[in-house]
Amino acid sequence: MIKMDGIAAFVATAESGSISEAARQLGHAKSVISERLAELERTLGVRLVQRTTRKLSLTEDGDSFLPRAQRILFEAREAQSEIAERRDTLAGTLKLSAPVSFGVLHLGPALYDFLAEHPGLELTLELDDRFVDAAADGFDAVIRHGPVADNRLVAKRLATTRRILVASPDYLARNGTPHSLACLNAHKGIVYTNREADWRFDAPEGWTVIRPRSVIRVNNGLIMRGAALAGLGITLLPDFFVHAELADGSLVHVDVGAAAEGAELYICYPLARTPSAKITAMTDSLRRAFGTPPYWDRSARADPRPVTALVAEEITPTIAR
């Protein structure tokens, strides 16, 4: 008889590429994971994992068994959730990936209330600025900021965001304030490395890409904000990074007469899966926590005009530019 803990050990090892990492994720000793793998292999009568002193890889049988093992775990979790839902509760595991900085600043606090409301849930949150493969890496859902190019995903909008140019008053006092896109070329830029043609603006003559002289290139928004606060240059950041700094004056909006390309927040899950009650409930909870308009949008709060309600239905994955 195949045991579920053996399947869980195998899937975690295959997805992470390491018995040590699988042990960390599952909360067991490395020796326990190794024994569960060995027992699974004895039960199946095949070797699933090839172990050497330097690396771990799946055998041909392991490659063949992995998709079935992942489906078995998914179905088991869904069965547990369905039973819980019949009792009007949410229970079971939930694995979520999100960008590092947004997770620290906004997602974590929003999730605390959701978890307190549903004590039967066990959430695994992994913060990573790379675009993880939701299905292959075993995530129930991923948070994305920006276009969703993967047509294997269903994307639901969580909140709207703006991307704005900001700099410290000290930097602008020393280097002058640019008032047009052309003026930006003479300034030092703090640039995000994970997005091509990042400084893209809706100018009167059409979309215009600016490539400033970079003083620092980095793949983390908190570092970019810190560099701007230190007076190193101008940076383009989502408003959820800088709303507090704009309010206290430590950063100021650099208005060049053109709006930067926006990037919205989505929660995404694999197209092949029916959205579970857990994902639906978490999506609704996050939308309430962020608000419509979101609490970080100072311009929307200051604008007396009515704000269009957030679109809640499923959307087709966005094609990256």
Per-residue pLDDT tens for 217-266? 998 999 999 999 999 999 999 999 999 999 999 999 999 999 998 888 99
CATH class of this structure's domain 89-161+263-315: alpha beta
Question: What pLDDT shows up at residue 300?
Answer: 41
> Where do the CATH 3.40.190.10 domains begin and end in the chain?
89-161+263-315, 163-260
Cα–Cα distance between 271 and 146 in angstroms, integer?
Answer: 18
Question: What pLDDT shows up at residue 16?
Answer: 83
Task: Could you please state the CATH topology (level 3) that the domain comprising 4-73 is classified under.
Answer: Arc Repressor Mutant, subunit A (1.10.10)
Give which of 29, 6, 3, 25 is closest to 15, Cα–Cα: 25
CATH class of this structure's domain 163-260: alpha beta
**Inter-CA distances, 35 with 30, 39, 95, 230, Å:** 9, 6, 24, 52
Q: How many CB atoms lie within 10 A of CB 75?
A: 10
> Where do the CATH 1.10.10.10 domains begin and end in the chain?
4-73
Three-state DSSP at 50 gives strand
Q: How many CB atoms lie within 10 A of CB 133?
A: 16
Determine the angle formed by the axes of helices 60-86 and 277-290, rounding to 10 degrees.
70
Q: Are 190 and 214 in contact (CB under 8 A)?
A: yes
Q: Which residues of the chain have pLDDT under 70?
A: 53-54, 80-88, 135-136, 195-197, 272-275, 298-321
Percent of the chain at pLDDT > 90 equals 43
